[in-house]
Structure 1
Amino acid sequence: MEYREELRSIGERILSETRTELYLAMHFLGPALGSLSPVMDLSTTTVGTDAAFIRFNPKCLMTKYIEHPYWLKRCYLHMLLHCLFRHMFAGKAYDDPELWNLCCDIAAESVIDSMDAPVIQRPVSEKRNAWYEELRTGAGVLSAQRLYRYLSEGERDYRKEAAMEAEFVMDDHSFWERLDPPDAPAPKEQPEGAAAMPLIATKRLKEEEWKKLANKVRLELTLGREAGTKTGEFLRFLAYDGSQRTDFHEFLKRFAVTREESFIDPDSFDYGFYNYGMQMYGNMPLIEENEYREATKVEQLIIVLDTSASCQDFLVQEFLNETASMLLKGDHFFAKTKIHIIECDDKVQNDIEITELSQMEEYSKHFCLKGGFGTDFRPAFAYVEELRRNKKIEQPRGLMYFTDGKGIYPKKQPDYDTAFVFVKEEDPDTSNVPSWAMKLFI
């Protein structure tokens, strides 16, 4: 019993040290790193996760810690990516679980190989690079979903898949199969004996938790701007993965200001009148609702639309519809606001000023694309500076530039927040987006 406890303790210390090293190197993973507790599990010979725990065989961890310490950090991050991309929850939708597992491993490894972080970096073999090139040509994006679709179509090459498994498999996926059905009742009691260990949490609850954690990590990267080569393809995969749309509410908080607005508030009143009524009439409080309240909302915003030939008009229309819906249904903007909508290809084609939220819906309905030439993002920024010099706008709070990513970016960072907005289903090229700009996906 003492020997077993010693093994468990050593394994937990190894994983704790590994987690700390990853956090020190990649702070943006903070919200997710603390979500997997270590549990010794002798049903595996290696290590794996069920989205609630990291289940490990201590002998495997000790061997790797001594002989291949870098492997532990890569494997820990590999398992974390499975959780953030929610691979273990999507497997039921695919007919071939073995192929799905392989695709998940390739997706996770491709992200890790794209990161420029010494803590997990290792030379990428020519064989692995050749496979990446072949798979990108066939699948486009190396997400598990795209890879499965590509590899399952046509004639299967099982020998090649076996070679890929030897190259990309890192962790034990058998724990994924133990996830209970989404609507299964929670078990009432713990199994006895050697099998007694923390039970795998319900699938539905864990999936929701990891959706929220993925959003937190994505916001940490986009708003905190800890991007660049260190994160590689990670942010792009987070945006591409799943069906979650961009959380515009969190994004717009960055541009919000606090001021008073007209609003009858029945829940608040002047305590002076209340006290006067009680003193004068005994039990007759005088209550008058406040007609103003303090609110933190967006007062001014600049939206630039890429109207070049490469950016299809239906994509621009989709973005406008999304934005109009956000303005009308949400509580993010003051009733009186100022939104500039600038249409630009390689020069500014049009500038529409929106002062009433209802105008946005009309503009969206009757939008007609002007331009259709090359793509240069710089004229829009120069035009904003011209508006400022001519006192037509005040200090901008933020600028959103909707584009497909194919164009010339400005080198100089403006003195206001900038976000380039992409349609994630179109596999946009975001590799040249400046490090000072945020990336959003709809």
Structure 2
Amino acid sequence: MNQEEQIKKSRDLAKEILLLTRDYLLVSLGFLHIALYQFQSFQLTDNNTIGSNGEMLFYDYKYVLKTYKKEKEALARTYLHMVFHWIFYHPFKIGIEDANLWNLATDIAVENTILELNIKAVETQKDIEQKDVIDILKEKTEITAEKLYKYFWRNPLAENQLKEYDALFKRDDHSIWGFNPKRKQFDNQIDEEFVYKKFEEQKEEYQEEIKEEWEKISERVKVELETFSKDRGEEATALIQNIKEVHRDHYDYGEFLRQFSVLSEEIQVNNDEFDFGFYTYGMQLYGNLPLIEPLEHKEVYKIKDFVIALDTSGSCSGEVVQGFLNKTYSIMKSTENFFRKVNIHIIQCDAKIQQDTKITSDEEFENFMDNLQLFGFGGTDFRPVFYYVEQLIEQGEFDNLKGLIYFTDGYGIFPEWRPKYDVAFVFLDENYNEKKIPSWAIKLVLQEDELKI
């Protein structure tokens, strides 16, 4: 057998091992069957590693053979590791300031998930050392990629410790997440024209297609997990925790605020219903006499009657409340969601109403923000706000109250009855832990960086 034939045989063997590894995992993890089989093709590289772009699995055949020969469970572990990255949406995270820190956080979160599943088929020599590190981290934060990243960002690791953790938890090549592998990484057997058309010319569209596919898969895994967790109990804790992080309700806050706007007419040129053809024809025919004038009234959606409730109990810091108000005001102002005259009540409450500030104009809102002073810092009871708003409605204070947003840490007594207006409880991500809000209320979770203007 010549060298070329030997290389081909080795390549074929490596691919066969990967396919067998996938089937091997399916025996123990049937609820992941769709995710395990999502890598639709196996493509060769020469970079001594393995990774996936969500559709294809890229691997160095020498790496696969060497890893399998040394510890076959390690290869199965790596395959499962890659799958969980995509189930948890790790490659789709945007706005990350430190990519290396994010990579480490995602690897630790995935490895913790696999360790807690307690699957013998993927036990490796590094497990004990990994558990020791994770046990220490569990005392500091939850073991999800998002929480770990924030913890590491606020508590920087020493350079040597960062390298140590990276070596301990890393298994796949995250650079392939970017869907932009370098030309030298590919073997000649690959259709390079197809690959580069996908990865360069249609990069954004391709990424969106991949994301949509994994959103469906992740949702399916979530459903399967509900049955699986009943059988496996605590062994699925980390998996449930991470999958909930993925499917938590994170909204575009600007879009969210628009839900509470009302339709009204304002005096302004309505270009949407104005026929410029007749206008131009009249100007051409008669000089300066148009056949039609622009409509001076336009229906627009804007915020008029609105309530913002602030939890000023001892567990809510003034800085966070200030950030929330700044963000809310900035969105309202920038999207022109204000009427010229508004009726917004900003109510501060801990266990009782502490202050109600009525805002009737843009200028008053700015003045309130410039001179913000918080009152309270006692216990938390949400009910006084709703009783108070009902009194305001009875007194005719609102023409058409659309909604109330309650910014809180969630620790308090919720009302049992449903008001006639929409209600949203807004939580900051780092303080959020599956708060049990009433079924009739909207739940909104904001990331800390969303409070930055």
TM class by smaller structure: 0.5 to 0.7
Q: Summarize deviations over 1:280-336 as a string: whole Å, max 9, x none.
A: 969953332211012123333211011122212222222222222222222223333
Equivalent residues of 2:306, 2:402 under 8 A apart: yes
Shift of 1:194: 0.7
Does residue 152 (structure 1) correspond to residue 127 (structure 2)? The answer is: no
Select 1:429's aligned residue among 421, 427, 432: 432
Deviations 1:121-165 (A, max 9, x none): 956999788765531323566435346566833874998876x63
Q: CA deviation at 1:42?
A: 3.2
1:404 corresponds to 2:409:
yes
Question: In the comparison of the two structures, how many residue pairs are matched?
Answer: 377
Secondary structure of the structure 1 residue equivalent to 2:295: strand
The 5 A counterparts of 1:8-407 are 38-43=40-45, 48-50=51-53, 53-55=55-57, 76-80=83-87, 81-85=89-93, 90-91=98-99, 101-108=103-110, 122=117, 132-139=134-141, 142-143=144-145, 144-146=148-150, 152-153=157-158, 156=161, 165=169, 171-173=172-174, 175=176, 179=180, 193-197=188-192, 198-199=195-196, 201=199, 232=241, 247-265=252-270, 269=274, 284-393=289-398, 396-407=401-412
1:196-232: CA deviation from partner (whole Å, max 9, x where unpaired): 341373599659967x969xx8xxx9xxxxxx99974
Deviation at 1:190, TM superposition (A): 12
C-alpha contact (below 8 Å) 1:302/1:400 kept by paired residues? yes
Conserved? CA contact 2:261–2:304, under 8 Å? yes
Q: Quick one: distance in 1 between partners of 2:291 and 2:107? A: 68
> Relative to 1, partners in 2 of residues 1:256 and 1:328: Cα closer, same or farther, differing over 3 Å?
closer
TM-superposed CA distance for 1:85, in Å, is: 2.5
Identity of aligned residues (%): 30
Separation in 1 of the partners of 2:438 and 2:171? 32
Letter in 2 for 1:55: L
What code does the residue aligned with 2:52 have?
A: T
**What is the distance in 1 between the residues matched to 2:96 and 2:371?**
44
Higher Cα Rg, which structure: 2
Task: State the distance in 2 between where 1:208 and 1:398 align.
Answer: 39
Equivalent residue of 1:322, what SS?
Answer: helix
Q: Output the CA distance in 1 between the equivalents of 2:320 and 2:245.
A: 19
SS at match of 2:302: strand
Task: Say which is worse superposed, 310-319 or 411-420, in terms of deviation.
Answer: 411-420
Alpha-carbon offset, residue 109 of structure 1: 5.7
Partner of 2:72: none
Does the 8 A contact of 2:42 with 2:58 survive in 1? yes
Greater share of helix = 2
Secondary structure of the corresponding residue to residue 255 of structure 1: coil
Displacement of 1:337: 2.7
